[in-house]
């Protein structure tokens, strides 16, 4: 009697292991060396890449050890690759006179690329207000867009299924309140000259937020008023400028009148220029020594006044 059982062929141990190894290779991202000239900056990249001391230190490290952490890029339809993460490493590699750098190439849509680009930079210790402003705006728009798409799973969108707003998720991720997130984003409405003054700490964040509600032409006029009065707006002044603007009554004359007001901080402060004081001191005196001498003379004057009053 013939057996009806079918013959089962088992894969060899070598085949099993080679299959597992090939699967692991297929799922592992590959690092490739790409010429620096083929790597382009991310469109709308909001973070400044400066040739400062920190950049020179990075360049020295790359010159000695190479790029230790690969950059992330995506294919650019117009040719080459668009950098998603690694703009500072790219610049440091140029300064180190390297021709290539290690890169992980991923197929990313605009939203995913934007989120990775922002997240890779928000971890830096010192960020300018303008950098935070545009970074928060770009990431929030990408998160909202992802939440509206139907081709993503819940895990890709994050906590969309929990009914949380993108702004709440972003605030939690960056450790800021929702209100602070929106205050930063409002800064993107400032003209470049005013935004630079915020970065340079000439205008504080809260007054800058109020000024962002002024029309662009009003902001340009405000620059002239600030220059003519040699002053920057306090919070209360910025709030009044905003109110006049909303009422349609903000003119260059109003701006100059407001900026010409003495601030309380100015009333409590006495300032002397170095040129005014220099004629009273030897040329060898430094500003610190001049200040020390002035304090001593004032103390002697105060003691003399007290003695005169006791007589």
Q: What is the pTM (predicted TM-score) of this model?
A: 0.70
Ordered by start, the domain boundaries in the chain are 29-108, 109-189, 190-262
Q: Tens-digit pLDDT profile for the chain (311 aa)?
A: 555 555 555 555 555 555 655 555 555 789 999 999 999 999 999 999 999 999 999 999 999 999 999 999 999 999 999 999 999 999 999 999 999 999 999 999 999 999 999 999 988 878 999 999 999 999 999 999 877 554 443 334 444 435 578 889 999 998 889 999 999 999 999 999 999 999 999 999 999 999 999 999 999 999 999 999 999 999 999 999 999 999 999 999 999 999 998 765 554 556 677 667 877 888 777 777 888 888 888 888 887 877 777 76
**Contact between residue 36 and residue 93 where contact means Cβ atoms under 8 Å apart:** yes
Instruction: Give the pair of three-digit tokens for residue 167.
Output: 């702004």
CATH topology of domain 29-108: 3.90.1530
CA-closest candidate to residue 95, choices 67, 135, 125:
67
Exposure string over 142-173, b if 16+ CB within 10 A, otherwise e = bbeebbeeeeeeeeebbebeeeeebbebbbee
């Amino acid at each position: 009697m013939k057996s009806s059982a079918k013959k089962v062929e088992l894969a060899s141990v070598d085949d099993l292991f080679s299959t597992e190894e090939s699967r692991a290779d297929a799922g592992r991202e590959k690092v490739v060396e790409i010429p620096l000239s083929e790597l382009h900056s991310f469109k709308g990249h909001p973070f400044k890449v400066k040739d400062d001391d920190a950049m020179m230190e990075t360049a020295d490290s790359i010159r000695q050890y190479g790029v230790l952490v690969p950059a992330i890029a995506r294919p650019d339809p117009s040719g080459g690759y668009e950098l998603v993460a690694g703009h500072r490493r790219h610049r440091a590699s140029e300064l180190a006179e390297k021709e290539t750098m290690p890169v992980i190439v991923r197929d990313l849509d605009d939203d995913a690329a934007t989120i990775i680009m922002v997240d890779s930079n928000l971890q830096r210790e010192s960020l300018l207000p303008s950098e935070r402003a545009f970074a928060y705006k770009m990431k929030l728009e990408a998160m909202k867009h992802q939440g509206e798409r139907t081709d993503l799973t819940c895990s890709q969108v994050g906590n969309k299924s929990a009914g949380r707003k993108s702004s709440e998720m972003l605030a939690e991720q960056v450790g800021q309140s929702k209100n602070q997130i929106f205050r930063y984003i409002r800064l993107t409405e400032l003209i470049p000259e005013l935004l630079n003054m915020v970065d340079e700490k000439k205008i504080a964040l809260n007054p800058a937020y109020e000024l962002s509600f002024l029309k662009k032409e009003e902001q340009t006029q405000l620059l002239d008023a600030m220059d003519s009065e040699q002053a920057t707006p306090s919070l209360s002044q910025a709030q009044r400028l905003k109110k006049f603007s909303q009422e349609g009554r903000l003119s260059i004359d109003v701006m100059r009148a407001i900026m010409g007001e003495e601030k309380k901080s100015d009333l409590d402060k006495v300032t002397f220029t170095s040129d005014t004081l220099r004629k009273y001191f030897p040329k060898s005196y430094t500003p610190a020594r001049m200040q020390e001498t002035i304090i001593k003379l004032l103390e002697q004057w105060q003691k003399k006044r007290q003695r005169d009053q006791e007589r």
